[in-house]
């Protein structure tokens, strides 16, 4: 049985809920006092790849120049738990990248960020889990019936994988269509630990046509990173007019953002 993280548009019957993991997008509107912008940290270390960090500031929604929000000339330091430390290079305004440290499952990574804008040093620690392979990826026209006159998604995307036993696992699925990120989804294994699983990635806005290339990246993430994206999804569903809050960040000294050391597997199919 799957854990449902968001409910889109309608409350589905219990039997449908038991098999659906709903989607969330990568954007959310925050309300901040424009005279006191917040630093946003988006940092990740993929397995067998270099680390990347994007630093920006919150701004008014009607800002005419988003590039001004990028935080330049920061000091970004990454340590990999094996004694290696490096200062990341700013490859473009607000974008920092390692050229020595690459991700490796099982290692502990520490991120430290110093900026002129922030009043405190920002730091985070994350441990990279082992990767879990996608056994099979399928896409099909939806077979779900209408519920109380409401039409179900046009397409179902199903990811099959074997969850490792005797350990807690947390996953983030990132969906690409023709190389473009469409949505992301989160899931844990509290009710299906050690089992062969089918994750139904449900997106009411998914549009696929024959010839499209569908790619799913299945990231094995830490509980802290899972909590960030889980609350991110939930907050994205808050009704306008309610009190705004922020996702649960795993970065000390920052109100917004995340640091993720993740291992991933990918699989692609062409839509017929």
Q: If we measure between CA atoms, which residue out of 187, 200, 186 comes closest to residue 152?
A: 200
d(CA 138, CA 142): 12
State residue 145's pLDDT score: 77
Cβ contacts of residue 242 below 8 Å, gap of 6+?
none
- In degrees rounded to 5, what are phi and psi of residue 94? 80, -5
**Residue bearing tokens 């409910």:** 7
* Residue 46, token pair as written in the block: 């993929």
pLDDT given at position 42 = 98
Q: Tell me, what's the pLDDT at 219?
A: 98
Tell me if residue 258 falls in helix, strand or coil. Answer: strand
Count CA atoms within 13 Å of residue 14 on its CB side: 0
| Tens-level pLDDT at each residue, the chain (272 residues) | 444 344 344 334 433 444 444 445 444 444 544 547 899 999 999 999 999 999 999 875 555 555 669 999 999 999 998 999 999 999 999 999 999 999 999 999 999 999 988 778 999 999 999 999 999 999 999 877 777 777 788 999 999 999 999 999 999 999 999 999 999 999 999 999 999 999 999 899 999 999 999 999 999 999 999 999 999 888 766 544 455 578 999 999 999 999 999 999 999 999 99
């Amino acid at each position: 049985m799957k854990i449902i993280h968001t409910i889109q548009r309608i409350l589905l019957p219990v039997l449908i809920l038991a098999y659906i993991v709903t989607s969330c997008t990568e954007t959310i509107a925050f309300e901040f006092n424009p005279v006191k912008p917040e630093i946003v940290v988006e940092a990740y270390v993929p397995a067998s790849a270099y680390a990347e960090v994007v630093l920006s500031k919150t701004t008014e929604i009607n800002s005419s120049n988003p590039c001004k929000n990028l935080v330049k000339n920061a000091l970004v330091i990454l340590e990999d738990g094996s004694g290696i430390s490096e200062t990341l290079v700013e490859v473009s305004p607000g974008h920092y990248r390692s050229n020595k440290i690459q991700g490796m499952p099982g290692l502990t990574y520490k991120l430290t960020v110093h900026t002129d804008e922030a009043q405190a040093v920002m730091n985070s620690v994350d441990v990279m889990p082992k990767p879990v392979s996608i056994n099979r990826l399928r896409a099909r026209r939806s077979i779900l019936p209408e519920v109380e006159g409401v039409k179900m998604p046009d397409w179902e995307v199903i990811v099959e994988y074997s969850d490792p036993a005797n350990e807690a696992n947390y996953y983030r699925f990132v969906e690409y269509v023709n190389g473009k990120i469409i949505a992301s989804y989160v899931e844990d294994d509290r009710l299906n630990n050690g089992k062969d699983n089918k994750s139904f990635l449900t997106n009411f806005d998914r549009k696929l046509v024959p010839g499209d290339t569908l790619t799913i990246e299945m990231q094995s993430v830490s509980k802290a990173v899972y909590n960030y994206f889980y609350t991110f999804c939930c907050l994205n569903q808050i009704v306008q007019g309610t009190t705004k809050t922020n996702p649960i960040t795993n970065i000390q000294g920052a109100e917004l953002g995340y640091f993720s050391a993740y291992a991933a597997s990918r699989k692609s199919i062409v839509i017929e």
